[in-house]
Amino acid sequence: MTASSNRWHFNAIAGYSLVGAIALIAVVAVFWTPYDPLHLSVRNKLQAPSLAHWLGTDELGRDVASRAMAGAATSCWVALLSVLFAVTSGTVIGLLAGFIRGWTDRIMMAFNDTLLAFPGILLALAIMVIVGANQYGIIIALGLAYAPMVVRVVRGSVLSIREKEYIEASVMIGNNPVVTMLRHVLPNCVAPIAVLATSMFGWVILSESALSFLGLGVPPPAPTWGNMLSGSRSYIQSAVWLGLVPGVCISLTLLGVNLLGDHLRDRLDPRIQ
C-alpha cells in the first residue's frame, strides 16, 4: 500500500469518525443532556470536573458538558442551514452566469467579485447589522457571505462543461436551455460543490463561533461554542475548563471537516485519481 493510499484511508477514517461523533452528539443533545443546559445553580458555580459534572460547571452553576452538547446542536444546525443557503443560491447564480454568459455573466460576476473582495467574517458582520443578531439573522448573514465562493467555483465548472460535445448535442436536438442546465451541466458540477460545501461547513462553524464570541451570534442564554468561549474570558485562570471545552470542540470539528474534505477531494477529483 502506497503512502498516498495510507493517507487517503487515514483521512477517510479520521474524518468520518470525528464528524460522525460531533453529529451524533448534536442529535442526542436535541433529546437528552445530562442536565438542563439553562438551569442555574449558584451553589454549584465554578466547580471543577467531577463525577457529578464531568466537565465542571460555569460561573452560573450550569453544567458545562450539557452546554457543550447543546452548543454542538445549535452550532451545527446554524452551520448546516448557512451552508445549504450559500450552496443553493451560489449554485443557481453560478450556473446561470456560466451558461448564459454575455452581459448577464459580466454583471453577475462584477457584483460577485465585489463581494469576494471582503473577508467572509467582515461581510457577515456588515449583514448582521442589517438583519439583527439572532439565529436566523446569522444564518442569512453567513449564507450571503460565503455564497460568492460557490458562485465562482460553479461558474468555472460550468464554463468548462459548457464546451463539451454532449452539451452541444443537447442544444442541437432542441432541448430547452433549462433542461440542458439541469440534466447535463449541473450533475457534472456536483463533485466540486460537494468538496467546497464540506470545507465551507468548517469555515461557517468558525465564523459562527467568532460572531457569538463578539456577542453577535445566537443570543444568550442559548448555548453555542462561541458564547461559551466569550463567557470564559473572565475565568480563564481560575476555571480553565470553561474555555478549554468549547475550544476543543471547535478544534475537533474543524479537524474532522478538513480531513473529510481532503478525502472527498481525493475521491472525486479525476486528476488525482
Query: What does 28-78 look like in DSSP terms, one character per residue?
Result: HHHH--SS-TT---GGGTTPPS-SSSTT-B-TTS-BHHHHHHHHHHHHHHH
Render pLDDT for 183-200 as a digit per residue (tens, 0 to 9).
Answer: 878 888 888 888 888 888
pTM: 0.86
d(CA 13, CA 270): 21
Mean pLDDT of 133-156: 87
Would residue 220 be called left, alpha or beta, if left means φ above 0 and alpha means ψ between -120 and 50 degrees?
Answer: beta
Peptide bond into 221 cis (omega under 30): yes
Q: Which carries the bigger pLDDT value, residue 80 or residue 134?
A: 80
DSSP state of 182: I
When pLDDT is cut at 50, 70 and 90, the band that residue 272 belongs to is very low
How many Cβ atoms are within 10 Å of 222's Cβ, its own excluded? 17
How many Cβ atoms are within 10 Å of 31's Cβ, its own excluded? 7
Do 117 and 126 contact (CB within 8 A), yes or no? no
d(CA 33, CA 85): 29
Place of cell 459548457: 162
Q: What pLDDT, on a 0 to 100 scale, did the predictor assign at position 23?
A: 92
Q: Which helix (H) or strand (E) holds 90?
A: helix 64-100
When pLDDT is cut at 50, 70 and 90, the band that residue 135 belongs to is confident
Render pLDDT for 61-98 as a digit per residue (tens, 0 to 9).
Answer: 899 999 999 999 988 899 999 999 999 999 999 998 88
Burial of 92 (0-12, 13-18, 19+ CB in 10 A): middle
Render pLDDT for 226-265 as a digit per residue (tens, 0 to 9).
Answer: 888 888 888 888 888 888 999 999 999 999 988 888 777 7
Q: What pLDDT, on a 0 to 100 scale, did the predictor assign at position 6?
A: 59
DSSP state of 218: S
Report the chain's mean pLDDT, rounded to a whole number: 84
Mean pLDDT of 27-55: 88
CA nearest neighbour of 138 among 91, 83, 90, 88: 83
**Cell numbers at 272, concatenated:** 488525482
Distance between the two ends of the chain, CA-based, in angstroms?
A: 15
d(CA 273, CA 263): 12
d(CA 234, CA 45): 14
Do 14 and 256 contact (CB within 8 A), yes or no? yes
